[in-house]
Structure 1
Amino acid sequence: MDFLSYQSVPAILKENAQRYAKRTAVSFKKQGVFLSLTFEEFYERVLLLARGLLKVGVKRGDPVCIFSENRLGWAISDFGIQSAGGIPVPIYATNTGKQAAYIINHCEAKIVFVSTKAQYEKLLEVRDEIPGVELVISYERFMGDRSFPVYTQYQLSEVGTLLSVEDTGQIEAIIEQITQDDLITIIYTSGTTGVPKGVMLTQYNVMSNAQIGLHHLGVLGDKETFLSFLPLSHVLERTAGYYATLLSGQHVAFAEDVKKVMENMVEVQPTWMVSVPRLFEKIYSRVHEGAHQLSPLRRSIFHRALKVGREYATKKYVNGQADSLLALQYRLFDRLVFRKIRDRFGGRLRGFICGGAPLDRTINEFMWAIGLPVYNGYGLTETSPALTLSNRDYIRFDSVGKALAQTELKLAEDGELLVKGPQVMQGYFKSKDKTVETFADGWLKTGDIARIDEEGFVYIVDRKKEIIVTAGGKNIAPQPIENELKLDKYISQAIVFGDRKPYLVALLTTNLERVIDWSREQDLDYLDIYELIKSTKVRHLFSERIAALNKGLPPYATIKDFALIPREFTIEGGELTPTLKLKRKEIYEKYKDMVDDMYLKKGNGLVFQTTSRDGEKK
């Protein structure tokens, strides 16, 4: 299907409502059971909402905010707003009231959709700061404050009142007026540094990126099921896992919650998912933890299978070589080991699309070895998002693939990746200065340091602003070191510091299950986890693990000291963005005393720190 033969995303949905009328479009969980809507039913719900929005005065070009996690209501709101001529402006469900107020005021939205009472209460707390909001619409029914009334999406849609021919004609006339140059959305960056900027993307930006990306991937069947769990507020999930899926007549199932993704994978049995590296890190860890519990014989079979799987994946997909004996061995281990692993994730997965951050080579190779291919890609909110993507015909486990069709890439003198293409944004909303700063002679500056090999494979080194320059003048990319640290079975997350300092230090979150298992083997006595990770033996364990990593690094890039944190970095804790990227500035501020103390001790490896239950240094 040629998306660009249509003028807009709503126009394609209208066509699909006829072409795939009885095919399942979306699934969602309600009262413990997954329910679904066909394309025909979904389109009707979109038209009903568009009718309601027109009645309350939404006009062409009006911004309307969506403050919600992924769910059916989000999708209906998105298409309904567009079909009424408005511009959907998403707000991350994890944002605070003040963060939401900034976006609402900056885009001048008069209407805000919320998912739950909790989101509504965030707005209620900042009611005086959002005087322009005239209407709040919720996906769930609850009592609002008299001073700030709230209505349900069902009420606004007047679900009990059938669409008349006039209603449908009015809305579809508006859909026909939407052009490829019209804005499909304004997405505010998640704000790892500074104030969020509103990225203006057009219908053409997103439709072209979805179409070119699907063609580049080239492995989708006629009926696929995508499980959606990354925030639809982020352009990666929205374009790759949502628009591309629905526009091509496929099925999107919304996960209940990020924490229930593994459970939902078994229930939904998806064929495809879009994810960030954190999911694959967890799969890698979970599989290895399971292998650790096996009998010596079965553990030996697992490691032998993995060795054969890695060799098979490298020969077949990276080198393009056929090896019949190796293929026979792989099929045997696939029946004995890998198929059982895949069954734990639904059993039908054909592949993942990965973005948001570079995926570690070891983990990517592991995923391909067990028969769960990960197609690594790279992009930005400002590029709708994809710029590069892997393909089954050309894979490098440490690369983000090759440039998409019609996408031009080049490197600046300092190694920053510069891009041009149909997916590049129109600019930042109400911020001409920031827009000008982001372009150089028509090329978008990505802010990422990269390298491109002779075959066209792109490798992302790190964020330009996150490159560490030590006191000795050495430039060090922290992300590859952090990825190596996270591969250790006792380490869950890692962040490296050292900018303008004489050496590198690291904050490590512990894999508590593994550490507790190890403590039992060592017969350690402790009252709680905080006392456990303060023990000299645990300190020595981690010192040994860091020392082993350091052997593979040049002296100036070795970790000279570390501190342990007994809990993971989280979105709620303010350490991660909604797309699970580390907030380096916030983490440093939160654990500043711990980091600074490691330098006061001059990196002698004797420092040991942990945190208390409330996050204070101990």
Structure 2
Amino acid sequence: MRDFAFAPPARPSVTGGLADTVFETAARNPALPLLARRQGTSGTASWQEVTAVEVRDAVVDLAKGLIASGISPGARVAVMARTRYEWTVLSLALWTVGAEVVPIHPTSSRDQVEWMLRDSGCVGVAVEDEQSVMTVGSVCAGLPRLRHVWQLDAGALEQLVERGEFIPITTVDSLRRIVMPDSTAVVAYTSGTSGHPMGCALSHRSLASPCDTLLQGWGHTAAQAGEQAAVLAFLPFSHVYGLMIQGLCLRGGLLMGHEPDLSEESLASALLSFRPTYFYAVPSVFEKLYKTFLRTAQQSGRGPLFERAAETARDFAAANERQRLGRGSGPGLDLRLQHALYERTIYRRLRGALGGRVIRATSGGSPLSRELSLFYEGIGIYVHDGYGLTETAGGITMQPLGREKSGTVGQALPGTDIRVAEDGEILVHGPSVFQGYVNDEAATRAALRGGWLATGDLGHLDHEGYLTITGRKKDIIVTSGGNSVAPAPLEQRLRMHPLVHQAVIVGDNRPCVGALITLDPDYLAHWRAALTLQGDTPNREAREENALREEIGRAVAAANSAVSRAESIRVFRLLPDQFDQSNGLLTPSMKLRRDAIVQHYAQEIEAMYQSRSRVPRQPTAEEVLGWDDADNMFR
């Protein structure tokens, strides 16, 4: 094991601003489709392609309107909308005139919106609908710099285009050419220790560098040879992960479609009609897909067949991994024959759920389990577990081609250096590191130490330079007995059970580790329907509850098998409600708000530990699994 990883220095040089790439592509290949706009409803959806020259012209027309509205270089404009075509065109127009984009998630609270608009000093904000207009309107009195509120659904962009008709194109070109790589392009807000989000200033170079490096080394893997790569953008552009995907598509000439609706039905329909070649998501999406595959198979009476196929896929991928890493001979004849059989009968159908053309994928935002990574590789879709954060403008590691290692996030990108401090914190140095926190020099000095970014993440590097993420430094739980526990691995293993939707490990200053668990509603309904119980309704409900306790107990036992007894989950409680953005327990990037969850469920946590303290000294099987009569999710 080693505590540093210095990557090869070679990397593409960045010149100019982010908008330049559209102008360059339009000049070089004007007919190349760059964007795709969804037409019709989800059931009859089709996609209208927008060529590079059409995108450029739309950007120029909109840039003229921004200039006519007084948007000058260095001005900050917020975009508070879902992932849609207008988001991309507007951001390109803002960068063309040298303005800075402030992404705000459309579900942000009134207080969050007010803070971000005031802290960044925005002069304008583009919102999506009337509800967002009302949110911004309710805080305008405290925002003296805010002069413009544009509503996308009310034709604001068309009005801007009309307003700028008299502006000569030479003015647009002049402003675009003075945008330098180190000019600030985005102020992206991330959670801060003070309770207020902190604005990360990201330059054009910061955002472009990892995109160009990835495209140079890995861009050809996003589609079959001779085929234009296509990506369906659906995660929010208000998060740096989404911004990075947008940058990759625009700078690499990948066709990008937009899907603003994150409902399961709309996303499934968009995937089937758009048919991407590359898929990106967060771990919860990959977990949900797997559970949907399993549930569908069980409902059709083919559950055991799917489970055998899934096990074969993992075994096949693991054998291939051993071979490419020089640690084995690869799949044997029997395994190859089994895999070939399931490829004809199952795997191709699973790939069909993503449109049938996806060959590789990326998971980001939090760790993806090795088991899931191997499963997807085994069915023909290699999923790279990416690593990056807002302060690094997105990804800073990647799997070396032909040497991919599941369970890690790969090696440092060329030009990026990674070290692991004595306390396990990951430190990063490279061109994508941010410029600092807006209006917070103290926080900037704390994060940037001699040019190295202290990420706050914990991990380790193996002897080949592969990085493994073990959790967040601030999330480490210390029990009253002094045991330090990283919650992420336990939560990840709990979510592998199809009934478990979300899990949060607790236990700070408590005698043992506990877990708050929510259930997957779709799989729970299927599980209930498949449960065979006889008798009258009251007794049947009690037996059903006991069966559910036992099933979740098995999930806890499986998670505990990977850790020491001191780190194992000894108590847990099922919660009737999900963690989501509406109750403030989930971030827009689908991450758990741990402090908010602990505060929200303080009574349940206290009751969970109090009930444990009343159990006799000699533990029963139910105590080991964390259950007693007080643990009743239905009361």
| d(CA) in 2 for partners of 1:258, 1:576 | 15
What percentage of residue pairs aligned between the two structures are identical?
28
Is the alpha carbon distance of 1:572 and 1:35 closer, same or farther for their aligned partners in structure 2, counting shifts above 3 Å? farther
Where does residue 314 of structure 2 map in the other structure? Answer: 310
**1:156 to 2:160 alignment:** yes
Higher relative contact order (CA 8 A, sep 6+): 2
Q: Which residue of the partner structure matches residue 606 of structure 1? A: 628
Greater displacement, 27-36 / 567-576: 27-36
Partner of 1:230: 235
1:48 Cα offset (Å): 1.1
Alpha carbons of structure 1 residues 171 and 536: separation in structure 2 relative to 1, 3 Å: same
Question: Partner residue of 1:288?
Answer: 294
The answer for the alignment partner of 1:248 in structure 2 is 252
Structural mapping, 1:412-423, within 5 Å: 412-423=421-432
Match of 2:215 in 1: 214
Match of 1:568 among 553, 578, 587: 578
1:33-74 Cα deviation digits (max 9, x unpaired): 433321111111111111011011111111111111110111
Counterparts of 2:322 and 2:204, CA distance in 1: 36
Give SS of 1:424's match.
Answer: coil
Residue 391 of structure 2: aligned partner = 382
Q: How far is 1:525 from its partner?
A: 8.4
SS in 2 for 1:319: helix
1:394 aligns with 2:400: no
* Closer, same or farther: CA 104–370 of 1 in aligned 2, 3 Å: same
Equivalent residue, structure 2, for 1:261: 267
Find the residue that maps to 2:374 and give its secondary structure.
helix
1:66–1:112 Cα contact (<8 Å) kept? yes
Residues 35 and 66 (structure 1), Cα distance of their counterparts in 2 relative to 1, 3 Å cut: same
Structure 2 residue 122 is the aligned partner of structure 1 residue 122: no
Distance 1:391 1:595 in 2: 43
- For the residues of structure 2 that align with 1:544 and 1:181, how far apart are their CA atoms? 53
Gap runs ≥5 in structure 1: 142-150, 613-617
**CA–CA separation in structure 1 for the residues paired with 2:180 and 2:217:** 25
Please name the residue that 1:319 is paired with. 323
Moved more, 206-215 or 101-110: 206-215
How many angstroms apart in 2 are the aligned matches of 1:512 and 1:344?
21
Question: Do 2:322 and 2:330's aligned partners in 1 also have CA atoms closer than 8 Å?
Answer: no
Q: Distance in 2 between matches of 1:387 and 1:191?
A: 22
Determine the C-alpha separation between the residues in 2 that align with 1:237 and 1:516. Answer: 33
Residue in 1 that maps onto 2:122: 109
SS in 1 for 2:365: coil
The RMSD of aligned alpha carbons is 2.4
Shift of 1:24: 1.6
Cα deviation per residue 1:240-282 (whole Å; 9 max; x = unaligned)?
A: x111111111111001311122221111101112211111011
Taking the aligned partners of 2:235 and 2:631, their CA distance within structure 1 comes to: 34
2:621 alignment counterpart:
none
Which moved further from structure 2: 362-371 or 219-228?
Answer: 219-228
User: How far off is 1:319 after superposition?
Assistant: 2.9
For residue 371 of structure 2, what is the amino acid of its counterpart? T
Q: Distance in 2 between matches of 1:533 and 1:444?
A: 54
Q: How does 1:186-585 map to 2 (within 5 A)?
A: 186-190=187-191, 194-218=195-219, 219-221=221-223, 223-239=228-244, 241-259=245-263, 260-295=266-301, 298-320=302-324, 321-323=329-331, 325=333, 326-520=335-529, 521-523=531-533, 535-585=545-595
Provide closer, same or farther for how the CA distance between residues 125 and 608 of structure 1 changes in structure 2, counting only shifts above 3 A: farther
Mark the CA change 1:65 to 1:519 in structure 2 (over 3 Å): closer, same or farther: closer
Counterpart contact for 1:417–1:447, Cα < 8 Å: yes
Distance 1:609 1:307 in 2: 34
Shift of 1:126: 2.2
- The TM-score, its normalising length taken from structure 2, stands at 0.89
8 Å Cα contact 2:34/2:52 also seen in 1? yes
State the 1:505 CA deviation.
1.1
Distance between the aligned counterparts of 1:491 and 1:323, measured in 2? Answer: 32
Q: What is aligned with 1:148?
A: none
Give 1:19's match in structure 2, choosing from 28, 43, 59: 28
Residue aligned with 1:502, SS:
coil
Amino acid at match of 1:211: D
Give the C-alpha shift of residue 345 in structure 1.
Answer: 1.6
Q: Could you give the per-residue CA deviations for residues 350-376 of structure 1, whole angstroms, max 9, x where no partner exists?
A: 111111111111111111111121111
Structure 1 contact 533–539 (Cα < 8 Å) conserved: no
Aligned residue type for 2:156: T
TM-score, normalised to structure 1, is 0.91
**Structure 1 residues 434 and 452, CA gap change in structure 2 (3 angstroms):** same
User: By how many angstroms is 1:10 displaced?
Assistant: 1.2
1:488/1:545 contact within 8 Å kept: yes
> 2 CA distance for matches of 1:293 and 1:15?
52
Aligned residues: 595
C-alpha change, 1:42 and 1:107, in structure 2 (3 Å) is: same
Following the alignment from structure 1 to structure 2, what is the Cα–Cα distance between the partners of residues 109 and 119? 16
Give the aligned partner of residue 93 of structure 2.
80
Letter of the 2:241 partner, please give it. Answer: L
**C-alpha deviation, 1:300, in angstroms:** 4.3
How far apart are the structure 2 equivalents of 1:392 and 1:582?
Answer: 32
Amino acid at match of 2:590: L
Indicate if the aligned counterparts of 1:9 and 1:203 stay in contact, CA closer than 8 A.
yes
On the 8 A contact 1:594/1:609 being kept in 2, the answer is: no
Output the CA distance in 2 between the equivalents of 1:346 and 1:533: 41
**Is the partner of 2:516 in helix, strand or coil?**
strand
Q: Is the 8 A contact 2:611 2:630 kept in 1?
A: no
How many Å apart are 1:534 and its aligned residue?
9.1
Q: 1:191 to 1:548 in 2, by over 3 A?
A: same
Q: Pick which of 68-77 and 553-562 moved more.
A: 553-562
Deviations 1:452-489 (A, max 9, x none): 00011101111000011111111111110011111112
